[in-house]
Structure 1
């Protein structure tokens, strides 16, 4: 089995057709077709089913592509590691963060990382753990930083808690209900339900409000975007519940304010990575920057409670 064949399989899986894969790789379609046929013959299994508009992966093909991604990621990581150990300050690091983590950790960590590795390519995605779990396992993503509750998958990763967290009721600056000191005073409020959190880590929005006696809140908008959520809060009288980091961020804190009400549970912010494969020096440095910035933020949280 050749590395070029793995490359071709991945290209076909991502583009959905042999012709598109050939265009993507700059290779003639017959060569792609021959490559796929050879690897299927070697495996004794069909990876792709042909149809009028292209191809679709078989069950075996789906499993094989997951392994192929892992192989490709490790080869690229090995090349980067060798170059970095030779003193070349280049390579790629893939980082996944939640919105809240991005707000308070990324600016300072990114600044220090860019100083140390100005020629590095940093790939950043905004997400929660569940969508990125597969990519962490197969090596396409080096680090995840965000909310995580230890559960059935905890033993699969190295999990390092940065700080505990909480969520708060917020509205725009100068909101007419900002004086509220009980949830009963919010009975007639209109709400924005954020759909950006994982139920397993952040709990259900309606259930969270119900814990404080606010049954059947008047939800008039549901947002799947952090940007839309912020713009809506800043320009309307809608209320919502967001992680503490939205309130602490210099950018968002000028537009919203937290109400003086009991906080909601939030999963701790953690760093997750694979236990069976060391990070490259560059990725390890970025991880250490996240760790340091997270430690400083935790100290500020503790000081605010004193």
Structure 2
């Protein structure tokens, strides 16, 4: 079965917007023209891909089966078009990168800044999330590079071996937290305090859990779990919560006098970070430029 790319773009636009009208507006076409395009796609498929409702368009079972393939084919076409035009000097390239919160706070912005200074025609798309979100985005080709905590390679994702660096995580608190006045502070002293941290199953939570286990301690009093780094910093800096963060994540707040590590012997730990790419295929040229800057930055640690 051969698919027309324009039909797949139309299909993806409707899936994304949930409405024929909004999709037509996004694609700058009329609704009747878009309807004809979808009818041609359904003729190619041999079955309806949408159910029409008064509140919008919903995928049929066939449409749901088509969706991941349609998105992949569209992204592959866009990547190929960008690569060829960038080689010919006819268009801007796009870096598509994802990062966990600590890298998105400091390392990635510095690398993007350096890259765009050297290559001013490049554009950048960034997503931030925990590793499962980044891995899915890498496999689905939403991004081409993922930056996170070093982990084992898979059948689809591999680490870039020469782009690794370390950071150190600490128990952190607001600058006016009462524990700062306690002499000879120990990790056990934090157990009954209110904690805010990224959710169970995320890298930071498991890292914190390992440190407490190393001290033969149960988990502390985790009151708030959130995937929002902004909310996390606000809870720690302004609402008296303790947290567990790598240094780059709170670098700006430390300089502003809002958040800093508590001085607790043995209550910090290093971790290794790296860049990841898809195992199959070539890394697009624009992302190679960013990777070169990351290598240069992280290489300075060694």
Query: CA, structure 1 residues 107+34, in 2 after alignment: closer, same or farther (shift >3 Å)?
Result: closer
The corresponding residue for 2:244 is 241
Q: 1:12 aligns with which of 14, 25, 35?
A: 14
1:239–1:93 CA distance, 2 compared to 1 (3 A)? same
Partner of 1:28: 30
Q: Counterpart in 2 of 1:255?
A: 258
**Root-mean-square deviation over aligned CA pairs:** 2.7
Alpha-carbon shift at residue 251 of structure 1 (Å): 4.7
Deviation at 1:166, TM superposition (A): 4.7
2:58 aligned residue: 56
Distance across 2 between alignment mates of 1:272 and 1:55? 36
Find 1:275's aligned residue among 279, 290, 294: 279
1:218 to 215, 221, 226: 221
Distance, in Å, in 2 between the alignment partners of 1:265 and 1:49 is 53
Contact 1:202 1:267 in 2 (8 A): no
Q: Could you tell me how far apart the structure 1 residues matched to 2:136 and 2:105 are?
A: 24
Deviation, structure 1 residue 25:
1.5
User: Is 2:125 the counterpart of 1:155?
Assistant: no
Q: Report the equivalent of 2:233.
A: 230
Deviates more, 1:122-131 or 1:6-15: 122-131
Could you say if the C-alpha distance between residues 221 and 136 of structure 1 is closer, same or farther in structure 2, counting changes exceeding 3 Å?
closer
Quick one: distance in 1 between partners of 2:191 and 2:13?
53
**Deviation per residue, 1:265-301 (Å, 9 max, x gap):** 67632211122222232211111212222232x43xx
Question: Counterpart of 1:304?
Answer: none
Measure, in 1, the Cα distance between the counterparts of 2:238 and 2:48: 55
Residue matched to 1:71: 73
Aligned partners of 1:95 and 1:124 also within 8 Å: yes
Residue by residue over 1:161-214, the C-alpha shift from the partner in whole angstroms, topping out at 9 and shown as x without a partner, is 51345532111225331355422222432222333xx71534448845752454
Distance in 2 (alpha carbons) for counterparts of 1:203 and 1:187: 15
Q: What residue in structure 2 maps to residue 303 of structure 1?
A: none
- Indicate if the aligned counterparts of 1:148 and 1:201 stay in contact, CA closer than 8 A: no
Contact 1:89–1:118 (CA under 8 A) maintained in structure 2:
no
CA separation of 1:216/1:78 partners in 2, compared to 1, >3 Å: closer, same or farther? closer
| 1:183 maps onto 2:183 in alignment | no
1:264 Cα deviation from its structure 2 partner:
6.1
Query: Is there any run of 5+ residues in structure 1 with no aligned partner, and where?
Result: 300-306
Helix, strand or coil for the counterpart of 1:155?
Answer: coil
Specify the alignment match of 1:302 in structure 2.
none
- Where 1:278 maps in the other structure, the secondary structure is coil
TM-score, structure 1 as length reference:
0.84
| 1:108/1:203 CA distance change after superposition, 3 Å | closer
Structure 2's unaligned 5+ residue stretches are none
Q: CA deviation at 1:110?
A: 1.6
Q: TM-score, normalised by structure 2?
A: 0.85
- Alignment: residue pair count: 293
Conservation of the 8 A alpha-carbon contact between 1:201 and 1:266: no
In 2, are the aligned partners of 1:202 and 1:266 still within 8 Å (CA)? no
Mapped to 1, the partners of 2:48 and 2:55 lie a distance apart of 18
Q: Distance in 2 between matches of 1:193 and 1:112?
A: 31
Once the two structures are TM-superposed, the CA of residue 223 in structure 1 deviates from its matched residue by 3.5
